Amino acid sequence: MPPYPLGGAGREAALDEKPTNDMIDSQMAEIHRVGVIGAGQMGSGIAHVCALAGFEVALNDISEERVRAGIATINGNMARQVARKAITESDRQAALARIAAADKLEDLADCDLVIETAIEKEDVKRKIFATLCPLLKEGAIVGTNTSSISITRLAAATDRPEKFIGIHFMNPVPVMELVEVIRGIATDDATYETIKAFVTRLGKKYAVAEDFPAFIVNRILLPMINEAIYTLYEGVGSVDAIDTAMKLGAHHPMGPLELADFIGLDTCLSVMQVLHEGLADSKYRPCPLLVKYVEAGWLGRKTKRGFYDYRGDKPVPTR
């Protein structure tokens, strides 16, 4: 839209003008190359599905070793898909050829879309965006995979809030069908439509969420997990009893404490803290036992101990 002076009829007309479908289509970005910041569980999963969908992918992390480990994980996961006949061997080889290591943020400069998947801490994400955005080309979209933090606040840390959006994938990314799409207050229509089309091209379904703490899935899921931890903390049931009860009594595929370990107890705590602080409601208070486990460094599967001990042949409850 052309610039208008601060006053006068031109500005009023611009404010009243509603974008038409043709206007949005003409402004939608063409996404060919996707940058992914973070080569861990979520980042490698996002790179995996993007490459299989035909996008060129640049995978970045804080060290070369982490990037190589992420690519190795993708290779292994794709090999399992081949074994299950979900994809062909030629699909796997073609997808792997589309993934390149990006050892520096500067290597993402020519990306059309960059998705950040760093740890769920707002200060860390803000620092990444402050460094990243000046490197990107004009018009590049920046997405965040945050599971709980305000999209509007994160967008304000960038030079392109209108091109910033929440793209929250579920874990494990290659398996889960849903992506939450969250607009910040400044996200423009073209960016919104571009990302909905991008998610569809990945073979996923999107659910549009408003920019409130933890969005939809975690707003419902994490308080349930937190309540399961309270149930353990208060001695109502053991780890095994709680998980068995929810698997057999509520037909959940995974018990809430097992799921917490899978997500990462540090991530669970971060989401509950965002809910508690953002909504100022005592029902979102993180369970003290969750805090204790995180303080001990027992974060779940990724550290081999959480509500279960994973160091042996089979998981054993720790309480």
Structure tokens at 151: 């999209």
pLDDT at 267 over 60: yes
Known active-site residue 48 = no
d(CA 246, CA 255): 6
Question: pLDDT of 170-179, one tens digit each?
Answer: 999 999 999 9
Question: pLDDT of 70-98, one tens digit each?
Answer: 999 999 999 999 999 999 999 999 999 99
Domain segments of the chain: what residues? 29-209, 218-317
Known active-site residue 168 = yes
What's the CATH fold of domain 29-209? Rossmann fold (3.40.50)
Mean pLDDT for all residues in the chain: 92
Residue 28 pLDDT grade (very low, low, confident, very high; cuts 50, 70, 90): low
Cα three-residue angle 156-185-41, rounded to 5 degrees: 65
CATH code for the part of the protein at 218-317: 1.10.1040.10
Predicted local distance difference test score (pLDDT) of residue 33: 98
Three-state DSSP state, 60: strand
What is the average per-residue pLDDT within 199-207? Answer: 98
Q: Choose the catalytic residue: 60, 180, 226, 258.
A: 180
Known active-site residue 147 = yes
Residue 158 pLDDT grade (very low, low, confident, very high; cuts 50, 70, 90): very high
pLDDT at 26 over 80: no
Question: pLDDT of 32-60, one tens digit each?
Answer: 999 999 999 999 999 999 999 999 999 99
Residue percentage of the chain with pLDDT more than 90: 90
pLDDT at 1 over 70: no
Residue 18 pLDDT grade (very low, low, confident, very high; cuts 50, 70, 90): low
Residue percentage of the chain with pLDDT more than 70: 91
Q: Choose the catalytic residue: 44, 145, 147, 226.
A: 147
d(CA 319, CA 105): 43
Q: Choose the catalytic residue: 44, 60, 148, 218.
A: 218
pLDDT at 155 over 50: yes
- What's the distance, CA 221 to chain centroid? 15
Q: Choose the catalytic residue: 44, 120, 150, 168.
A: 168
Question: pLDDT of 243-252, one tens digit each?
Answer: 999 999 999 9
Give the list of residues 6+ apart from residue 34 with CB closer than 8 angstroms, or none.
Answer: 47, 50, 55, 56, 57, 58, 111, 112, 113, 114, 115
Known active-site residue 282 = no
Predicted local distance difference test score (pLDDT) of residue 246: 98
